Structure 1
Amino acid sequence: MFRSIYFIQYAFLLAIGFVSGVICFQAFSLDKSMNLIKLVDPRVLELTDVTIWQTALPILIWALFVLFFTTHPYLHFFAKLVVAIKATFFGFGSVFLLTQQESILVYSVWWFPFQLIYCILLLALCSVFGTRKVGTNRKFVFNKKLFFTLVMAFTMMGLGEMFVISYIIN
């Protein structure tokens, strides 16, 4: 029962974040939205000559933010806020790519599937650190199996993203 509630909560978080990004894109002018995209993930603007660091760094930064807030006992609720911000940028970048004339291939093969999976993995990363009730006290527990599984999933996704950018799009 509780797992299905979390699933619904996370699905709403992703959907509302995505739609918020679409609305935010409508509020920005094109040059300001390009400046924001250049700041957060410049690969959206130009996919030629993408290095490994340009692919790995955004993944690593978002994951470290989520992991920092998740493992902090008093700031754990900010981890979902970071994922909501990522989902908002996902929607923002989606509208930008779809408004470009020749970007439907880039959007459908690279941006949408990878960014959606990254958001889902970030939500799963929010569950790495939790509490268990031991007697009358609560004990904080770090789930090492889930963490290493997510590290492997992030690594596989990063390699897949580099493959798609290098061989399919370019």
Structure 2
Amino acid sequence: MFRSILIIQFAVILAISFISGVVCFQLFPLDKAMQLIGYIDPRVLDVQDISILGTIAPLVIWVLLVLFFATHPYLHVLARLVVAVKATFFGFSSVFLLTQQESLLIYSVWWFPFQLVYCFLLFLLCSVYASKKVGGNRKYFFAQKLFVTLVVMLIIICVGENVVINYIL
């Protein structure tokens, strides 16, 4: 029961953050939006010239940020905020891609499905360091099986993303 509520909570945060990114894009001038996208994930601006490192680096940075906050006993709440920022950028970049004339294929085959899966996996990564109440104290533990499973899934999705970028687009 608790896990299903957690998934619903993650889905609501993702939806609100995505819509927030759409609204933020409307507030930015196009040149400033392109500059922000270039800082966070330059692949969105130039899909034709994407290296494997260019695909792996943004993902690794987001994963490390989430892990840093998720494994800290006092800052674990900020891990979900980091994923919410990622989802906001996902919405922001989605509107940018959809406003480009030739980008509907890029958006529907590459950007939307992979970024959506990454956001859900990052939300699940927030749960790798949890606490249990043992007696009167809280005991923290690291869920190694969940962590390994999520890392394997992230690697598989990253490989799939590279295949789509290099062979389909």
- Report the equivalent of 2:141: 141
Residue type of the alignment partner of 1:22: V
Q: Counterparts of 1:50 and 1:6 in 2: how far apart (Å)?
A: 35
Q: Counterparts of 2:131 and 2:20 in 1: how far apart (Å)?
A: 31
Look up the SS of the partner of 1:127 in the other structure: coil
Q: Percent identity over the alignment?
A: 63
Look up the SS of the partner of 2:157 in the other structure: helix
Residue type of the alignment partner of 2:121: L
1:5-20 alignment runs, 5 A limit: 5-20=5-20
Q: Counterparts of 1:111 and 1:131 in 2: how far apart (Å)?
A: 35
RMSD value, Cα: 0.6
Residue type of the alignment partner of 2:7: F
Q: Counterparts of 1:68 and 1:86 in 2: how far apart (Å)?
A: 15
Deviations 1:130-170 (A, max 9, x none): 0011122111000000000011011001100000000000x
Of stretches 109-118 and 42-51 in structure 1, the one that deviates more from structure 2 is 42-51
Question: Please, what TM-score do these two structures have when normalized by structure 1?
Answer: 0.98
Unpaired runs of at least 5, structure 1: none
1:12-161 alignment runs, 5 A limit: 12-161=12-161
Q: Counterparts of 1:8 and 1:132 in 2: how far apart (Å)?
A: 22
Look up the SS of the partner of 1:141 in the other structure: strand
Deviations 1:36-84 (A, max 9, x none): 0000000000012311110000000000000000000000000000000
Q: Counterparts of 1:4 and 1:147 in 2: how far apart (Å)?
A: 19
Look up the SS of the partner of 2:48 in the other structure: coil
Look up the SS of the partner of 2:4 in the other structure: helix
Question: Please, what TM-score do these two structures have when normalized by structure 2?
Answer: 0.98
Q: How many residues get paired? A: 169
Q: Counterparts of 1:156 and 1:6 in 2: how far apart (Å)?
A: 24
Unpaired runs of at least 5, structure 2: none
Q: Structure 1 runs of 4+ off > 4 angstroms?
A: none
Deviations 1:78-120 (A, max 9, x none): 0000000000000000000000000000000000000000000
Look up the SS of the partner of 2:138 in the other structure: strand
